[in-house]
A and B are shown apart, each in its own frame.
Chain A
């Protein structure tokens, strides 16, 4: 799902039980595409296996 389509958004929203009024999937898809583009930026960055998500974040 590199660039989510309106159909992708409608399927994901249905799986979550999130109703979308007619015509709104396009805008949601645009925002989701932006977030997934961000995700590619950090997902492609190699992290060693011992880097854990902080269970209780502290700076």
Chain B
């Protein structure tokens, strides 16, 4: 069989297990696509060809000897370069970490995917230390949006989203502190899942703001996303915030439909300061789900403000020694923002955390009689690379890059699971995709995946095929 760019993980597993193709053929195909397209897209900061071929051959040997190669047998994947990979230096988008020795073991999530039979092919570009929504990385160059090369991929998991959108790999891992899985997933037109805080181990991941950091998968189909999530979810004593809660597989539940799920649309903050296309995307999803109820969560602006303060303060804490010793080696896109975070008084930080406790209760109240809440992911499609600092939305001047997180930040602030689903064909967006967030109660990722599966089955959401580049 031919190994095309848009083959799903599910199709790859079926073909590899049935020996219609080999893991080596699949992985070689992915490596060739990376070689052909990534010089322009700039998704990868490291390609692990030899390791990938060796892992693929191991999978093929297991199959040849009648063994179980795992639920993701032969599926190529790649990870944001803040995940530890044994034998590879974890650069976290920085020049400073690039001087560190190679990691001695895989991050827990990377190891879990490999144990499931997936084949790691490389490490992906990001904003330095995950502090950004654009992947306009000064050290490693910007990652380009596969749907329009003049535009950003979003961030900070920009390489993770663009590599999947361009068909270089069917699966990737990213991290999300304020929207860093969901924003690039929306701008590149793929599915991105930010699980519940503590659902997936962050052990072996370079943290950005520990009390807000999540890791999760990106994919071009709901089933692929569920398979990847099922492989990485579950307790891990190596991550102090990982929930002591057994994994709850979601893939078997995708066909259950929506019958018992109560869906509402987020109003107030989530219905302003965006381009009409973002709201049209929400309406399209709401209509398909028969959701007419509007829910308003109070004080979302203050929640976003508190999330920003916590992020900057915790981020600065991690990098304070390097800020003191070698500030010149930071990306100019992050350096002064980290420094400002270092100067925030402790009382301000703690007040932000107190507000977070209050807002968490308000968010919990919403989910007492709602299972899935619908909101835009970003307020506009991907801006151009090097866009001006501010832009006008709804006659209001906003910070072009920071405003990308206006709708994502409040949910990561309270650790709720969120799935961004891709939509195209929206008036005003041209060929560019946008995303819609499906938000759920803590640890109820299965509700979001079931809802996304229904939307996908009805053709409401889908990952658009990126134009073939030669």
Known: A43-B348, A58-B197. A53 touches B343 (CB 8 A): no
Q: Which of B15-23, B53-61, B89-97, B304-312 contacts A (4 or more CB under 8 A)?
A: B304-312
Residues from chain B with a CB closer than 8 A to the CB of A39 are 305, 309, 344, 348, 351-352
Which B residue's beta carbon lies closest to that of A9?
Answer: B343
Min Cβ gap A9→B in Å is: 7
Report the Cα distance A18→B303, complex, angstroms.
29
Min Cβ gap A7→B in Å is: 13
Is B447 in contact with chain A by the CB < 8 A criterion?
Answer: no
Min Cβ gap B160→A in Å is: 23
Decide if A31 touches B309 in the complex (CB within 8 Å).
Answer: no
How many chain-B residues does the 8 Å CB contact rule pick out? 43
Which B residue's beta carbon lies closest to that of A24?
Answer: B336
Residues from chain B with a CB closer than 8 A to the CB of A36 are 344, 348
Report the Cα distance A16→B312, complex, angstroms.
16
Residues from chain B with a CB closer than 8 A to the CB of A4 are 343
Is A52 in contact with chain B by the CB < 8 A criterion?
Answer: yes
Known: A18-B339, A41-B301, A42-B302. A59 touches B414 (CB 8 A): yes
Report the Cα distance A4→B339, complex, angstroms.
14
Known: A59-B197, A59-B416. A42 touches B355 (CB 8 A): yes
Decide if A38 touches B305 in the complex (CB within 8 Å).
Answer: yes
Is B357 in contact with chain A by the CB < 8 A criterion?
Answer: yes
Which A residue's beta carbon lies closest to that of B344?
Answer: A35
Known: A36-B348, A47-B358, A53-B357. A41 touches B339 (CB 8 A): no
Decide if B324 touches A19 in the complex (CB within 8 Å).
Answer: yes
How many chain-A residues does the 8 Å CB contact rule pick out? 35
Report the Cα distance A38→B243, complex, angstroms.
31
Known: A39-B309, A42-B352. A57 touches B339 (CB 8 A): no
Is B241 in contact with chain A by the CB < 8 A criterion?
Answer: yes
Decide if A51 touches B324 in the complex (CB within 8 Å).
Answer: no
Decide if B354 touches A18 in the complex (CB within 8 Å).
Answer: no
Is B323 in contact with chain A by the CB < 8 A criterion?
Answer: yes
Residues from chain B with a CB closer than 8 A to the CB of A41 are 301-302, 305-306
Decide if A47 touches B344 in the complex (CB within 8 Å).
Answer: no
B-contacting residues, A24-40, CB 8 Å: 24, 27-32, 34-36, 38-39
Decide if B360 touches A59 in the complex (CB within 8 Å).
Answer: yes
Residues from chain B with a CB closer than 8 A to the CB of A21 are 327-328
Of B343, B354, B358, the residue contacting A12 (CB under 8 A) is: B343
Decide if A45 touches B299 in the complex (CB within 8 Å).
Answer: yes
Mask: chain B, 231-251; 1 = CB below 8 Å from A; 0 = not: 000000000010100000000
Report the Cα distance A34→B308, complex, angstroms.
10
Residues from chain A with a CB closer than 8 A to the CB of B416 are 59
15 A/B residue pairs, CB under 8 Å, sorted by A: A12-B343, A21-B327, A24-B336, A27-B336, A32-B344, A35-B341, A35-B348, A39-B352, A42-B309, A42-B351, A42-B352, A43-B348, A45-B355, A52-B354, A53-B354
What are the nearest 10 A-B pairs in CB distance? Answer: A59-B415, A53-B353, A31-B340, A38-B305, A32-B340, A41-B305, A42-B355, A27-B336, A59-B442, A42-B302
Beyond A51-B358, A53-B354, 6 additional pairs, beta carbon < 8 A: A13-B342, A35-B308, A39-B305, A39-B309, A42-B306, A42-B355
